[in-house]
């Protein structure tokens, strides 16, 4: 054993080196180790806080999104309702307008028919008068002096009567 | 000295004297004797002084990184230390129950930073890695070894000693050898890698004459220094990782 120690050159330095290292170990434990551990813990906490905050924000964003989607759906439905209402109102309006127009047209047609009827009667009576006078004129020209005025008028009246019975 | 070596003519002696020459030329801090006898016993004074320097550097680095830490706008140093810490915590939590892992987290963190700075410190000219001395690495390995046993007893009670005689009592000597091999391999793996790195730096300096060094000879040294940085990281990581693994073996319930 002694010769081995001699050959390796072992001596009190071995103990001194252990002592030196233990001093260094204690120093590092007291001065250097705590701040490293502390800073790593703080960093870990900061990262965890960030992750938690990010998750929270994502959750909130998801909620907001759902809310917005719901709002949009509701708005769409409301818009549809409004459009349907408006369409129905417009249809009613147009129907009433058409009805009114139809009535007006009927009324105008009616009055026009009445006017026509009236004018026709008027025209027929005027025509009668004129035919009578024209006939008298023609007859007076043709017969001249041969027939008296009374006889002539009777003849003409007969004629007109016949003519009046004809459909004109 | 070289004349003396030439007079002896043996290849081994020549290279040894060449290394002596390099070490002598690089020894600008006045550590002449490798071993100094003090009131506390024999001490490797250079190792201890370099350890103090490395401790100071570790303290400077970590303290300046952890002052005025900010959550939202971390400084570059703060980020480095934070990333390192989280990386190590990930390793610990992969191997250990997080509640039990918290008890060795400080040790793992300190161990990694200290070993990393130690390994890299030897690459500064005229400096020496504390881990290039077997006393340092063996001391820390023994410390880790004792700690794993203590943690095992703490978390499992007397049940910790059950694994010495499992599955049969017959395995007791094998398990004891295995347990003892743990700190020894831990120590000598680190020591060998770092010490070899330093030796090769010196060898390259001694082998390549000054003229050749200026005209391209430095490339070999540069490559080796770059590789040594890599080795420094890897060895610090391996030591830390094995510490975690041994603790996990001692602390966790055996999986059957």
Q: State mean pLDDT over A127-132.
A: 87
CA atoms within 13 Å, Cβ hemisphere of B44:
23
A17 and chain B: CB distance < 8 Å anywhere?
Answer: yes
The pLDDT assigned to A84 comes to 96
| Residue of B80, B135, B188 to mutate when probing chain A, most A C-beta within 10 A | B135
Contact between A28 and B110 using a beta-carbon 8 Å cutoff: yes
Of B119, B134, B137, the residue nearest B242 (C-alpha): B137
Q: Locate the chain A residue with the closest alpha carbon to B61.
A: A32
Q: Which domain holds residue A151?
A: 2-165
Greatest mean pLDDT range, A106-115, B3-12, B93-102, B193-202: A106-115
What ranges in A28-146 are assigned the alpha helix state H? 33-143
Contact between A40 and B85 using a beta-carbon 8 Å cutoff: yes
A58 min Cα distance to partner chain B (Å): 23
CA–chain centroid gap for B81, Å, is 19
Distance CA B31, CA B38 (A): 14
pTM of the predicted structure, to 2 decimals? 0.71
Per-residue pLDDT band for A85 (boundaries 50, 70, 90) equals very high
Of all residues in chain A, the percent with pLDDT exceeding 70 is 95
Of B255, B226, B241, the residue nearest B123 (C-alpha): B226
The pLDDT assigned to B7 comes to 41
Which of left, alpha, beta for A43 (phi over 0: left; psi -120 to 50: alpha)? alpha
Per-residue pLDDT band for B4 (boundaries 50, 70, 90) equals very low
Could you give the C-alpha distances from A153 to A72, A130, A165, in angstroms and in order? 96, 14, 18
Q: Domain extents for chain B?
A: 34-251
Of A54, A34, A35, the residue nearest A46 (C-alpha): A54
Listed range (A15-19, B26-30, B50-54, B96-100) with the worst mean pLDDT: B26-30
Q: State mean pLDDT over B187-215.
A: 86
Distance CA B187, CA B69 (A): 35
DSSP at B164: G
Give A79-85 contacts, CB < 8 A, sequence gap 24+.
none
Residues written for chain B: 256
Q: Locate the chain A residue with the closest alpha carbon to B40.
A: A12
Q: pLDDT tens, B110-156?
A: 999 999 999 999 888 888 888 988 889 999 999 999 999 898 888 88
Contact between B135 and A11 using a beta-carbon 8 Å cutoff: yes
The pLDDT assigned to B189 comes to 93
What mean pLDDT value characterizes chain B? 84
Token duo for residue B157: 């009670």
The pLDDT assigned to B33 comes to 66
User: In chain B, which residues have their Cβ closer than 8 Å to the Cβ of A35?
Assistant: 66, 69
User: In chain A, which residues have their Cβ closer than 8 Å to the Cβ of B34?
Assistant: 9
Token look-up 């706008």 returns B73
Q: Give chain A's domain count.
A: 1
Q: What is the largest CA-CA distance in chain A?
A: 198
Distance CA B176, CA B183 (A): 12
Distance CA B8, CA B105 (A): 55
The pLDDT assigned to B1 comes to 37
Which of left, alpha, beta for B68 (phi over 0: left; psi -120 to 50: alpha)? left
Of B143, B245, B122, the residue nearest B191 (C-alpha): B122
Q: Which of A14, A25, A36 sits opposite B139 (nearest CB)?
A: A14
Q: Backbone phi, then psi, for B30, in 5-degree steps?
A: 85, 20
Distance CA A19, CA B154 (A): 23
Torsion of CA A155, A156, A157, A163, to 10 degrees: 120
Distance CA A151, CA A128 (A): 19
What mean pLDDT value characterizes chain A? 88
ipTM of the complex: 0.82
Q: Which residue has the higher pLDDT, B20 or A18?
A: A18
Contact between B109 and A11 using a beta-carbon 8 Å cutoff: no
The pLDDT assigned to A83 comes to 95
Per-residue pLDDT band for A145 (boundaries 50, 70, 90) equals low
Residue pair A21/B114 in contact by the 8 Å Cβ criterion? yes
User: In chain A, which residues have their Cβ closer than 8 Å to the Cβ of B88?
Assistant: none
Distance CA B40, CA B5 (A): 37
């Amino acid at each position: 054993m002694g010769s081995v120690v001699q050959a390796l050159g072992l001596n009190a330095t071995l103990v001194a080196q252990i002592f030196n290292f233990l001093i260094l170990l204690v120093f590092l434990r007291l001065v250097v180790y705590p701040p490293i551990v502390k800073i790593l813990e703080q960093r870990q906490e900061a990262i965890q806080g960030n992750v938690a905050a990010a998750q929270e924000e994502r959750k909130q964003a998801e909620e907001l999104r759902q809310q917005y989607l719901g709002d949009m759906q509701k708005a769409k439905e409301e818009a549809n309702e409004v459009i349907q209402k408006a369409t129905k109102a417009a249809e009613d309006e147009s129907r009433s307008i058409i009805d009114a127009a139809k009535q007006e047209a009927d009324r105008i047609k009616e009055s026009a028919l009445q006017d026509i009827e009236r004018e026709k009667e008027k025209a027929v009576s005027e025509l009668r008068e004129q035919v009578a006078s024209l006939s008298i004129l023609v007859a007076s020209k043709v017969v001249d002096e041969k027939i008296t005025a009374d006889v002539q008028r009777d003849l003409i009246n007969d004629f007109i009567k016949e003519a009046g019975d004809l459909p004109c | 000295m070289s004349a003396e070596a030439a007079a002896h003519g043996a290849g081994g002696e020549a290279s040894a004297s060449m290394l002596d020459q390099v070490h002598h030329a690089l020894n600008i801090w006045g550590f002449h004797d490798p071993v100094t006898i003090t009131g506390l016993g024999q001490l490797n004074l250079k190792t201890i002084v370099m350890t103090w320097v490395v401790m100071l550097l570790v303290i400077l680095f970590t303290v300046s990184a952890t002052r005025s830490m900010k959550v939202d706008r971390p400084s570059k140093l703060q980020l480095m230390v934070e990333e390192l810490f989280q990386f190590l915590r990930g390793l610990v939590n992969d191997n250990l129950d997080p509640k039990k892992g918290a008890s060795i987290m400080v040790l793992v963190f300190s161990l990694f930073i200290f070993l990393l700075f130690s390994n890299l410190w030897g690459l500064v000219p005229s400096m020496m890695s504390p881990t290039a001395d077997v006393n340092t690495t063996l001391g820390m390995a023994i410390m880790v070894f004792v700690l794993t046993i203590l943690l095992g007893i703490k978390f499992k009670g007397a049940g910790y000693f059950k694994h010495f005689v499992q599955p049969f009592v017959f395995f007791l000597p094998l398990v004891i050898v295995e347990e003892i091999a743990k700190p020894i391999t831990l120590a000598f793996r680190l020591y060998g890698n770092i010490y070899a790195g330093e030796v090769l730096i010196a060898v390259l300096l001694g082998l390549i004459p000054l003229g050749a060094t200026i005209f391209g000879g430095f490339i070999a040294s540069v490559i080796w220094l770059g590789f040594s940085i890599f080795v420094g990281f890897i060895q610090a990581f391996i030591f830390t990782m094995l510490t975690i693994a041994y603790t996990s073996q001692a602390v966790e319930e055996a999986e059957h």
